[in-house]
Structure 1
Amino acid sequence: MTGPVLIYAPDRGIGDLMWHLPTIRAIAATTPEGQVVLVARPSSRAAEVLKVEPSVARVLYAPHYKDKLKGVRETLDFFRLCKAETPRAVWILEKIDRPAIAAFLAGVPERRGFGLGHGQERFLSKGPYLPKSMRPAHRIDKLAAFEAAHGLAVASREPALKLDPQAVEAVKARYAGHPGPWLCLGIGASEPARTWPAERFAETARQVADLFGTVFWVGGPHEAEIARAAIGDLPNNIVACDLPLDQSAALIALSAGFLGNDSGALNVAAAVGTPCVGLMGTAPVPAYSRWLTRLDGGEGRIGDITVDQAVQAVRARFAAETWGNSDA
């Protein structure tokens, strides 16, 4: 049978993409070519993040709409995509029915999805489906259950993100003169409730200066000015908010440790095997990786996390794990 295997992953964040990597690889491993075509949201930046991922042949983007016709538009978009790609199978890593309807109408012979007792099940060709009782479960738990139900071999939940060697060399060259060990501070987040105050990051950096030769502030371009203002005259603190995504991942991988908000950068840190402490606010990510520990605010209030707690968490792991710069 010709045509690729498509995986539809509609979550919008980079962190969500990291959680899905073991499942994506497991599905790819069931195909003769060992690869799939991933359909993802543009905000996941999957084409950049997975540029050197061997299990993903290509990334196609499915826009996320917010208007009243979003359901119709998303169904039509995926229908057109299926007609153009003529996939032999579509795996939908969610419960939504729009891609299932589109794949059905496009004549895709094999259609699998979460189900979860939703209308999606009527348009799938192959079960088993996740039970309705799993609707409140975290996405990682749903993925694990889905893998088990479909006989997918997943030895570890670690994303083990592949790094672009050219990006690694570019980062090494750019920061060759900065002493180690390096610490990355992930100051970005998708919403205020997940954002620890920048001045607390600065005070934390000051209090762990005896452990780290250089502290890099990682975030989006719009966070660069916030970082510069918070750093002030702190020595050996570098704003690294202008790096492209592949180089940002490389910098995190080359660092001894990471402290940051519940964000894509935190999940990238876990995915590249950098010891990381996550500052958790609303809907905190579980400690799904051996590299990740959580520091929780009270009742989802990230502002309740103190500088002393963050410093203690970094110092404890630094001592216990003898952090040093990576040889990535």
Structure 2
Amino acid sequence: MSKTLVLQPLPGIGDMIWHLPHIAAIAAQTPAGTVSLAAKPSSHADQILADAAHIVDILWLEPHHTHGPLGFWRLARHLRPYDFTEAWILHGSPRYAAAAATAGIPLRRGFGLGWQRPWLTHHAGLAAADRRMLSDRKAAQLIPRHGGTLDPTPRFRPAADERAWAGREIGAMDGRHVVLGIGASQKFKQWGIANFAATIAALQQDHGAWVHVLAGAAEKEMADSLVAGAPHPERLRVHLKQSMGRCAALALAGDLFVGNDSGMLNLAAAAGARVVGLFGGSPPLDIYPDLIAVTPPDGHVTYQVDRMDDITVAQVLAVVERAWRQPVSFSRRDEMA
């Protein structure tokens, strides 16, 4: 058990990926080079950080720790037996800072905006205008302020057995391999079955490509429909409910990953795969050097405003062909220019 606790309570896979550099930077400042992490099960932190030497253990934040007026008290009771001496709170809510204080953790570092500040012993010095910044951007200011150094680019390396599995899945089949991430946590990030089906048809008919579909339980029906409608179903593989490491390894082993703004996209990009991301309801990510962002043709994207259908199949295919022809790093501005 590390004496330093990092609280990263955002629920998504992408949220956890975004904060990997920050968690590692905090661990590097501790005497033992390790931290304990408090996170929500939906983040899949246990899989993402399974081989991370700087993570001693993971404490799950269950709904009763975070919901209701007594949530902070229940969380404090959950934390108290561990005798942490320091807590880093990578979230703006006062709930987690109050819980850390009530648990008797003497050093408490956080963003320090609004009602969170009185519960902290150290804060990031952010101004009220910084409230709308994303959590990882706030954390990027907090860590250097307290002596740490940070490379903000998330990196995730699948384990050797996961890379070997991906090699077996792809290595025996000649031709180009495109991995599709069809899932999305919100409707305004979902490109839709018709667009993915048309993309698969073009990839198979015009390029003879193998297509690999990454799908969770929620996307099984969609994946089955894509197989049924594919012109060459024998060249389409559905990888259902695979581990985080296997998903990242498959994206890395393929020639290209194409997908919605999702946890799978973040995994693929952090693993170092060449990624084409579809951003019609959320701003393009700018933290991955090899991510090619595709937006509606006019480039206008507003969070939660669904313009995914404005991204055309022809537009995506043109970007795919461009990526195949030019083996260099792309940035978000390349596609938005």
Same fold (TM over 0.5): yes
Q: In the alignment, what sits opposite 1:326?
A: none
Instruction: Map Cα deviations across residues 129-177 of structure 1 (whole Å, 9 max, x no partner).
Output: 32211011233322222223223211x3221112122222233334543
Indicate whether 1:94 and 2:100 are aligned: no
Question: How far did 1:185 drift?
Answer: 0.6
8 Å Cα contact 1:276-1:291 kept in structure 2: yes
The alpha-carbon distance between structure 1 residues 169 and 280, as it changes in their structure 2 partners (threshold 3 A), is same
Instruction: Map Cα deviations across residues 167-226 of structure 1 (whole Å, 9 max, x no partner).
Output: 222333345433343211100001211111122112212223355642101121231221
Q: List aligned pairs for 1:180-259, cutoff 5 A.
A: 180-209=175-204, 210-211=206-207, 213-231=209-227, 232-235=229-232, 236-259=235-258
Question: How far did 1:281 drift?
Answer: 2.8
Structure 2 Cα separation of the partners of residues 65 and 178 of structure 1: 48
Indicate whether 1:268 and 2:274 are aligned: no
8 Å Cα contact 1:53-1:162 kept in structure 2: no
* Residue number among 319, 322, 326 corresponding to 1:316 in the alignment: 322
More deviation in 207-216 or 187-196?
A: 207-216
Question: How far did 1:317 drift?
Answer: 1.5
Question: How far did 1:65 drift?
Answer: 5.6
Q: Secondary structure at the match of 2:19?
A: helix
After TM superposition, the score normalised by the length of structure 1 is 0.90
8 Å Cα contact 1:3-1:88 kept in structure 2: no
Instruction: Map Cα deviations across residues 260-310 of structure 1 (whole Å, 9 max, x no partner).
Output: 001000111111000111111323342211021211235541111100111
Q: List aligned pairs for 1:297-308, cutoff 5 A.
A: 297=296, 299=301, 300=305, 301-308=307-314
Q: In the alignment, what sits opposite 2:153?
A: 158
* Residue number among 96, 106, 109 corresponding to 1:109 in the alignment: 106
Q: In the alignment, what sits opposite 2:127?
A: 131
8 Å Cα contact 1:182-1:212 kept in structure 2: no
What residue identity is the alignment partner of 2:160?
Answer: P
What residue identity is the alignment partner of 1:72?
Answer: P
Question: How far did 1:247 drift?
Answer: 1.5
8 Å Cα contact 1:15-1:268 kept in structure 2: yes
Stretches of structure 2 that go unaligned for 5 or more consecutive residues are 330-337
Instruction: Map Cα deviations across residues 304-327 of structure 1 (whole Å, 9 max, x no partner).
Output: 11001110111111211179xxxx
Structure 1 Cα separation of the partners of residues 152 and 175 of structure 2: 30
The alpha-carbon distance between structure 1 residues 315 and 106, as it changes in their structure 2 partners (threshold 3 A), is same
More deviation in 54-63 or 184-193?
A: 54-63
Structure 2 Cα separation of the partners of residues 309 and 65 of structure 1: 45
The alpha-carbon distance between structure 1 residues 4 and 211, as it changes in their structure 2 partners (threshold 3 A), is farther
8 Å Cα contact 1:168-1:251 kept in structure 2: yes
Q: In the alignment, what sits opposite 2:334?
A: none
Q: In the alignment, what sits opposite 1:63?
A: 62
8 Å Cα contact 1:37-1:56 kept in structure 2: yes
| Identical positions, percent | 32
Question: How far did 1:106 drift?
Answer: 1.6
After TM superposition, the score normalised by the length of structure 2 is 0.87
8 Å Cα contact 1:179-1:213 kept in structure 2: no
Q: List aligned pairs for 1:65-84, cutoff 5 A.
A: 70-84=67-81
Question: How far did 1:25 drift?
Answer: 0.6
- Structure 1 segments, 4+ long, off by >4 Å, are none
8 Å Cα contact 1:62-1:74 kept in structure 2: no
Q: How many residues align?
A: 318
Q: Secondary structure at the match of 1:208?
A: helix
